[in-house]
Amino acid sequence: MNLMLQIWAGYARMTRRWPGISAIIPFIPVLALWTAVSESGLFPRAFFPGPGDVTRAFFTLTYKGILPDYLQDSLIRLATGAAVGMALGIPLGILIGTSRWAHRICWPVLLFLQAIGDIAWLPILLIWFGFGLTTMTFVIVYTVLFPVVLNTVLGVESVPRDLARAALSLGASRARVLWEVTLPGALPNIITGLRNGLGYGWRALIAVEMIVGTSGIGFMMFDARRAGSTVEIILGMIILGLLWYIVDAWILAPIERATGQRWGLVTS
């Protein structure tokens, strides 16, 4: 009993000093189960590889330079798509959020287009733009756009009316109100939208790379299927999860917290 308490206390101290560790712990049983099943010989190795095989594939592919190249291609595509999606989505969201007319005109169209999922655009995009970067970028931008627009609208509408009134009666012009009140007031929601958008965009990217790609993590996984290389497929899946965890937990979530909590706009 005493030993258990000591272990628990040690764990608490350790996770406080390195918070990242608490994220790794839950994966230990998953890893153990995976090892046990693959070692048991229940399935053929080529069909169900173990953690060791996947780790070896990771080092081989990294050494050959394939993995870093593909990873870079995927990330650049995602970053480009996200940047364009934000550049379009934030102004559009502010317009819809501030103008009743823009809201009336754009909102039904937005909901209509949102229902046509990213992948549903692929057939027509392939005819229009062929198998290339334009098609991929279009899909990512399309995926990132909606969460950003919808959350920006939500953010703009959630800024208390008195704040804009206060700014106006302190001498701010309409343009200054937009810059000094509307935009910072909507920022926590905009970041939430971006966080969702990047999450959807990341998944859409992998799907598109499988169909359109000549490089990228999605392409690597689909190409491995042709060669029957389960190791590379599983490696790809793990990279998807890990990379998203890093982007979300280490970059996006802290930004979201920093804006929302400091200002008391988000309570958690």
187 binds other proteins (CB under 8 A): yes
Instruction: Give the nearest distance from C-beta 87 to other proteins in angstroms.
Output: 22
**Rg for the chain, CA atoms, rounded:** 23
Q: In whole angstroms, give the CA distance from residue 225 to residue 209.
A: 14
262 binds other proteins (CB under 8 A): yes
Look-up of token digits 């959630």: 158
- The C-alpha angle 116, 206, 31, rounded to 5 degrees, equals 125
Residues 202-261 that bind other proteins (CB under 8 A): 259
266 binds other proteins (CB under 8 A): no
155 binds other proteins (CB under 8 A): no
The length of the chain is: 268
Task: Please count the residues of this chain forming the interface with other proteins, following the rule CB under 8 A.
Answer: 23
Tokens representing residue 123 in the block: 């057939």
Q: Which helix (H) or strand (E) holds 6?
A: helix 2-17
* Single residue of 2, 40, 169, 268 touching other proteins by CB under 8 A: 169
Half-sphere exposure of 235 (CA within 13 A, CB side): 27
Look-up of token digits 């046990």: 36
Instruction: Give the nearest distance from C-beta 105 to other proteins in angstroms.
Output: 21
172 binds other proteins (CB under 8 A): yes
Instruction: Give the nearest distance from C-beta 190 to other proteins in angstroms.
Output: 13
* Single residue of 122, 145, 167, 190 touching other proteins by CB under 8 A: 167
Instruction: Give the nearest distance from C-beta 266 to other proteins in angstroms.
Output: 11
* Single residue of 102, 180, 238, 257 touching other proteins by CB under 8 A: 180
Please list, in sequence order, all residues whose beta carbon lies within 8 angstroms of the beta carbon of residue 133, skipping any fewer than 6 positions away: 77
List residues binding other proteins (CB under 8 A): 160, 162-163, 165-173, 176, 180-181, 184-185, 187, 259, 262-265
